[in-house]
Amino acid sequence: MRRFALALLVSFFSLTLHAENPQTMRVDYYHSGNNEAEIFSLDRVVLEPLAFSGNLGQPLDKTLRGKYSFEIVDPNTGDVAWSRSFSSIYGEWETTGEARKMNRTFHESLRFPRPESTFEIVVKKRNQQNDFEEIWRMTLDPDDYLVHEESAAYASQVVAIEHNGDSATKVDVLLLGDGYTAEEQENFIEKARELTEILFATPPFKDRRSDFNIWALAPAANQSGVSRPSTGFYRDSPVGASYDAFRSERYVLTYANNDWRRIASSVPYDFVEILTNSDVYGGGGIYGLFSTAAANSDWAGYLFVHEFGHHFAGLADEYYTSSVAYEAPDEIIEPYEPNVTALLDPENLKWKHLAQDDTPLPTPWPKEIYEEHSIAYQVRRNKMRQENVAEAEMNKLFAENQRIVEGMFSEAPYDDTVGAFEGALYQANGYYRSEQNCIMFTRTTDFCRVCAAAIEQVIDEYTQP
């Protein structure tokens, strides 16, 4: 049961103060284009089987961490009844070199509480100044007989890993296993519990554990594992997760949006982390969509938390010496991600409230020494991957690199200081991170203070009235 603070919500969703939460509505659509143009086309409108698990007390997105946003609009008044920002695989793909050469189509979804009357859905995208501009508008009738009603086909397989209360006032996270056979279900649940403990051992999640519900579900796969095309390994797994997204050997995504949404609709979820039954280092995270982690990797805990940081809080990658598929921006502007800055106005540093007045901006750190070491490390890493060496050897390399980097940072004068350290967002110059080290920069165990604050803001948005 839920009381609404806003009269707009009460009228638009036609709920009394003692009504059950509305059901979850989902708009599935195709997102097509290239690096210069994009087009949206409706697939179908779906009524999911469960009540909406989001926070109806905060209907309008306050954090706006994504590249896109959508609004549910009353066509008679123009009032916005619901809004959320998000990012997408398409939004990443359009920044790759491939988008200059060809068109592609990706399947995407928007989820929101079911309105009781005809509504407009408005999708917006950031322009070159990072301001949102409308790019698609469509009118829909929730009572249309073509609205598809899904059943909770996987409800009997859902396991509650952590349950702290009503989904309406908690952050609901689904751990969605992929590549687990029926005989491997116990392994999956054990891994889900292990990674849950790692997440809640990491501040600020540690102090906010009671704000979360954690669910686990792994539809049975016919074969164990997920695809890794660069090595000729293919699996037709239920969720469709695969390595080599955008031809990056460590990037794990699924393009099978229809499949995993159908599975997930049996669970009251706000966020999804896909755990792949694989031991090769890899993962991915897209804000508001999902994150992925190789559950059997020696670095599974780090991957789980780092990638969840992308998906949950819209945190940017702070590393910049690793190879990525994305092309450098034509112009450096202030990023919209909360943990990186272009430092165009040092007097108004994005996280000024967390920095000391006497900290120099930019903040000195052993950048040249780090880059010399890290570039040599990446050469070794790439060579070993090309040779397809055993994962145990790769893990030794990762551990050795982390020891060297942490030793280097421990001697730096501004270690554990909030400032503006150049090198972030895949670029060596022009972008800055808030601290010398963070789980979004290296394989360390802690978020910096700026990232931690950004995470807390999202938790509040999903749990506070």
Contact 127, 133 (CB under 8 A): yes
* Cα(157)–Cα(251) distance, integer angstroms: 28
Q: Residues 117, 266: one domain? A: no
pLDDT at 325: 83
- Whether 326 is covered by a domain: the verdict is no
Residue linked to tokens 């293919």 = 234
Q: Which two tokens stand for residue 76?
A: 């008679």
Q: Residues 204, 162: one domain? A: yes
- Whether 457 is covered by a domain: the verdict is no
pLDDT string in tens for the chain (465-residue length): 333 333 333 334 433 223 468 999 999 999 999 999 999 999 999 999 999 999 999 999 999 999 999 999 999 999 999 999 999 999 999 999 999 999 999 999 999 999 999 999 999 999 999 999 999 999 999 999 999 999 999 999 999 999 999 999 999 999 999 999 999 999 999 999 999 999 999 999 999 999 999 999 999 999 999 999 999 999 999 999 999 999 999 999 999 999 999 999 999 999 999 999 999 999 999 999 999 999 999 999 999 999 999 999 999 999 999 988 898 898 999 999 999 999 999 999 999 999 999 999 999 999 999 999 999 999 999 999 999 999 999 999 999 999 999 999 999 999 999 999 999 999 999 999 999 999 999 999 999 999 999 999 999 999 998
Q: Residues 16, 141: one domain? A: yes
**Total structural domains within the chain:** 3
- Whether 462 is covered by a domain: the verdict is no
Residue 26's domain is classified under what CATH number?
2.60.40.3250
pLDDT at 41: 98
Q: Residues 141, 162: one domain? A: no
* Cα(341)–Cα(269) distance, integer angstroms: 31
Cα dihedral 34, 35, 38, 43 in deg (nearest 10): 50
- Whether 318 is covered by a domain: the verdict is no
Count of Cβ atoms closer than 10 Å to residue 380 Cβ: 12
pTM of the model: 0.95
Q: Residues 146, 161: one domain? A: no
Q: Residues 98, 161: one domain? A: no
Q: Which of 103, 119, 150 is the last residue of a domain?
A: 150
Q: Residues 171, 247: one domain? A: yes
* Cα(48)–Cα(149) distance, integer angstroms: 6
Q: Residues 194, 99: one domain? A: no
Q: Residues 202, 282: one domain? A: yes
Domain that holds residue 409: 340-444
- Whether 275 is covered by a domain: the verdict is yes
Q: Residues 183, 280: one domain? A: yes
Q: Residues 301, 351: one domain? A: no
Q: What does the angle CA 95 – CA 99 – CA 100 come to, to the nearest 5 degrees?
A: 105
